[in-house]
Structure 1
Amino acid sequence: EKMGGGGGSKSAERAEAFQACTRALLDEGKIGGNCSSLFLSKALSMIVLLGGMFFKVPQITKIAKNKSAAGVSLSQFCMEICVSAITLSFNYHISAPFTTYGESFFILLQNLILVAQVSYYAQLGATRFMVGTASYAALLLFLFSDFARDVRVPAPTCEFAAGAPSCQVSNLRLQECLQAISTMIVIVSRIPQILTIFRTREVGNLAIVTWLLNLAGASIRVFTTRRELPDQLILQFAFFMSACLSAVVVGQILAFSKRKPKEKAQ
Structure 2
Amino acid sequence: MTSITRNLPPFVKDLGVSIVGKKCYISLVENLNVGDIDCVKYAISKGLGIGIVVGGSVMKVPQMLLILNAGSAEGLSLPAYILETLSYAITLAYSVKNQFPFSTYGENLFLTIQDILITLLIIAFAPSKKPASSNKPRDLTVALLSMAGIAYTLNSLPISTLALAQIATLPLSLFSKVPQIAQNAKAKSTGQLSAVAVLAQILGCVARLFTTATEVKDPVVFTAFALALVLNSVLGVQMWMYWDAKPAAPVAAKHKKDEDEGEEIVSPQLREEAKASAYAYEGLGYGVPSSQQRFGTPPRSFSPVAGSPVAGQRRWARKTVD
TM bucket, shorter chain: 0.7 to 0.9
Q: Which amino acid aligns with 1:23?
A: I
Query: Which one of the candidate residues 51, 61, 75 is aligned to 1:71?
Result: 75
Q: Structure 1: how far apart are the matches of 2:19 and 2:238?
A: 45
Contact 2:124–2:140 under 8 Å retained in 1: no
Which segment drifts farther, 18-27 or 179-188?
Answer: 18-27
Contact 2:191–2:246 under 8 Å retained in 1: no
Moved over 3 A (4+): 258-261
Matching of residues 28-107 of structure 1 within 5 Å: 28-31=31-34, 32-107=36-111
Query: Which one of the candidate residues 123, 128, 147 is aligned to 1:136?
Result: 147
Structure 2 match to 1:233: 219
State the shift of 1:139 in Å. Answer: 1.6
Matched, 1:245 2:231: yes
Q: Structure 2: how far apart are the matches of 1:46 and 1:94?
A: 19
Structure 1 match to 2:307: none
More helix by share: 1
Structure 2 match to 1:179: 166
Q: Structure 2: how far apart are the matches of 1:260 and 1:138?
A: 38
Structure 2 match to 1:118: 122
Normalized against structure 2, the TM-score is what? 0.66
Normalized against structure 1, the TM-score is what? 0.79
Q: Structure 2: how far apart are the matches of 1:58 and 1:99?
A: 23
Q: Structure 2: how far apart are the matches of 1:215 and 1:52?
A: 12
Give the secondary structure class of the aligned counterpart of 1:71. Answer: coil
Change over 3 Å in CA distance of 1:109–1:17 after alignment to 2: closer
Change over 3 Å in CA distance of 1:222–1:16 after alignment to 2: closer
Aligned length: 222
Gaps of 5+ in 2: 1-17, 129-134, 248-322
Structure 1 match to 2:240: 254
Matched, 1:215 2:202: yes
More strand by share: 1
Q: Which amino acid aligns with 2:158?
A: R
State the shift of 1:49 in Å. Answer: 1.1
Contact 2:74–2:191 under 8 Å retained in 1: yes
Contact 2:189–2:245 under 8 Å retained in 1: no
State the shift of 1:16 in Å. Answer: 11
Change over 3 Å in CA distance of 1:111–1:143 after alignment to 2: same
Coordinate RMSD, CA, aligned = 1.9
Q: Structure 2: how far apart are the matches of 1:120 and 1:260?
A: 22
State the shift of 1:144 in Å. Answer: 1.7
Q: Structure 2: how far apart are the matches of 1:194 and 1:57?
A: 21
Contact 1:18–1:38 under 8 Å retained in 2: no
Query: Which one of the candidate residues 150, 153, 175 is aligned to 1:188?
Result: 175
State the shift of 1:236 in Å. Answer: 0.3
Gaps of 5+ in 1: 1-14, 151-172, 262-266
Q: Which amino acid aligns with 1:22?
A: Y
- What percent identity do the matched residue pairs reach? 27
Matched, 1:149 2:161: no
State the shift of 1:134 in Å. Answer: 1.4
Q: Which amino acid aligns with 1:247?
A: S
State the shift of 1:29 in Å. Answer: 2.3
Contact 2:84–2:176 under 8 Å retained in 1: yes
Higher alpha-carbon Rg: 2
Change over 3 Å in CA distance of 1:52–1:141 after alignment to 2: same
